[in-house]
Structure 1
Amino acid sequence: MKVKKIPQRTCIGCGTIRNKKELLRIVRTPEQEVLLDPTGKKSGRGAYICPAMECLEKALKGDLLAKRLETTIALADKERLREQLAAVIAGE
């Protein structure tokens, strides 16, 4: 019997390799919006972070997220990402 492979992804904030389902996807849509993608199915260029505010802050501070998404991230988009992540962490 063949063992099913579990997809692995790396958090861009802390560099931890985890199962894809344990991480949150941030996507740059074709319309150049930067959003948190809780389903992981939106079209666009994506990057993964742990569900922790520290990882998001590291990714935003060092422009790691902007480099990974190949775009510049506006201040409004950064604030929206912080709010969306806080809502996910709170369990909303």
Structure 2
Amino acid sequence: MKVKKIPMRMCTGCMEMKPKKELIRVVKNKDGEISLDLVGKKPGRGAYVCKSTDCLEKAFKTKRLSRNLETTISQEIYDDLRKAVEVG
């Protein structure tokens, strides 16, 4: 049997490679709108964050999330992300 490859992505907070399923994706679409992609299928440029508040705060403070998506991120998106991390 063939061993299935697990897709890995880097968290913008802790900068560690983790399985894609363990991370939350933030997407910037063609129109420049930013949204959360909990399924991981939306089209557009994506950045990943761990499901921990430490990584989320680190990504905010260093502005890595904004840099990866090449745009400024509104407080509303940060609040949505924080809620998604708390839920789990």
Give the TM-score range, shorter chain. Answer: 0.7 to 0.9
Q: Which runs of 5+ in 1 are unaligned?
A: none
CA distance in 2, matches of 1:33, 1:47: 14
| Displacement of 1:16 | 1.8
| Displacement of 1:89 | 3.1
TM-score by length of 1: 0.81
1:63 aligns with 2:59: no
CA distance in 1, matches of 2:54, 2:6: 26
Q: Which runs of 5+ in 2 are unaligned?
A: none
Kindly provide the amino acid, as one letter, of the partner of residue 34 in structure 2. Answer: V
Counterpart position of 1:14: 14
TM-score by length of 2: 0.84
Runs (4+) of structure 1 moved beyond 4 Å? none
- The structure 2 residue matched to 1:83, chosen from 64, 79, 84, is 79
Instruction: Give the direction of change, closer, same or farther, for the CA distance of 1:41–1:48 in structure 2 (3 Å limit).
Output: same
CA distance in 1, matches of 2:14, 2:2: 32
Instruction: Give the direction of change, closer, same or farther, for the CA distance of 1:83–1:89 in structure 2 (3 Å limit).
Output: same
